[in-house]
Amino acid sequence: MKNTIFEGAGTAIVTPLTEKGVDYESFGRLIDWQIEQGADAIVVAGTTGEGSTLTDEEHREVVSYCVKRVANRVPVIAGTGSNDTAYAIDLTKFACDAGADAMLLVTPYYNKATQNGLIKSFTAIADASTKPCFLYNVPSRTGCNLLPKTVAALADHPRITAVKEASGNISQIVETAALCGDKIDIYSGNDDQIIPILSVGGKGVISVLSNIMPKETSLMCKRFFEGDVKGAAAMQLEYLPLINALFCEVNPIPVKAACAAMGFGENYLRLPLTPMEPEHEAVLLQLMREQNLI
């Protein structure tokens, strides 16, 4: 059994931006609030953090800033994956040196890869890392599906310790759990599947919802771990309308609007992402009012 980086809710944190660049004042406040509210980890510069449109310099600065601001209060997991394995290796080495506790490695996008290519690419990155690595499967974005047998093969690597599963395919995730046992930790990458994945041995969630409800997302997992499955499931169902609203447009479009409504930066995204459609935003904000978030 490998060391578990965290149990519960890791926030896939947004990167507050303005036309001039990263809004570090808002970012720092958001990080502090996340930890005060009980987030179990911070995942920085991933999909929700708009890592794909941060410049290389910004990406590194955001990771370094997050590590320093968190100051060992919770684990920091840095998004360092790429469709260019050599670049992912370079960014992973940087994040290791910067003090991140683990790396999040997305499957290659656009150029994609065979399953053998995935094994070779992830192995090369993990070989270069001095910290644990999370595989990240999100085929709806990458066009590349990380299959259970491939995860099982990679789980033998001493630094590949976890997988963030955002395929949405529960049957595939169950197969991964069956093949890997305790060789790899599984985290939900979809907020609407937290409890289903915990039920087959998952360790938690890397969450978008946790940006605006860190306490509640962490509590949902805690209740499950403490044996209150019914209470945890009730929370999953209660928050489903809000979760759906956070994903009614491409992530992180809705959660950027939600964070801005709570005072954490501007509702600003970089193209090709654009601000939320007004009719969708109205629904999201009403659901947030019902949860007393704004």
8 A C-beta contact, residue 187 and residue 203: yes
pLDDT at 127: 98
pLDDT beyond 80 at 1 = no
Q: How far is CA 82 from CA 10, 112, 208, 219, 280, in A?
A: 21, 10, 21, 32, 31
Q: What is the pLDDT of residue 273?
A: 97
- Type of residue at 17: L
CB distance 135 to 146 below 8 Å = yes
pLDDT tens per residue across span 254-287: 999 999 999 999 999 999 999 999 999 999 999 9
Q: What confidence tens digit (pLDDT) does each residue in 61-94 have?
A: 999 999 999 999 999 999 999 999 999 999 999 9
Active-site positions?
136, 164
Distances (CA, A) of 103 to 81, 118, 162, 262: 8, 16, 10, 29
Integer CA distances (angstroms), 252 to 51, 94, 177, 223, 258, in order:
11, 25, 28, 27, 10
E strand spans, the chain = 8-12, 17-18, 21-22, 41-44, 76-79, 102-106, 133-137, 160-165, 185-188, 204-207
- What are the structural domain ranges in the chain? 8-226
pLDDT at position 63 is 98
User: Are 136 and 159 spatial neighbours (Cβ–Cβ below 8 Å)?
Assistant: no
Distance CA 103, CA 106 (A): 10
Which pLDDT band, with edges at 50, 70 and 90, does 139 fall under?
Answer: very high
- Residue 2's pLDDT is what? 80
> CA 232 to CA 223: how far, in whole Å?
5
> pLDDT digits over 8-55, tens only?
999 999 999 999 999 999 999 999 999 999 999 999 999 999 999 999
**Residue 47 in tokens:** 């999909």
Range 154-176 average pLDDT = 98
Is the pTM higher than 0.85? yes
Pair of tokens at residue 11: 């926030």
pLDDT digits (tens, 9 = 90+) for 171-218: 999 999 999 999 999 999 999 999 999 999 999 999 999 999 999 999
- CATH H-level superfamily of 8-226: Aldolase class I (3.20.20.70)
Distance CA 18, CA 7 (A): 33
The predicted structure's pLDDT at residue 274: 97
pLDDT tens-digit map of 239-263? 999 999 999 999 999 999 999 999 9
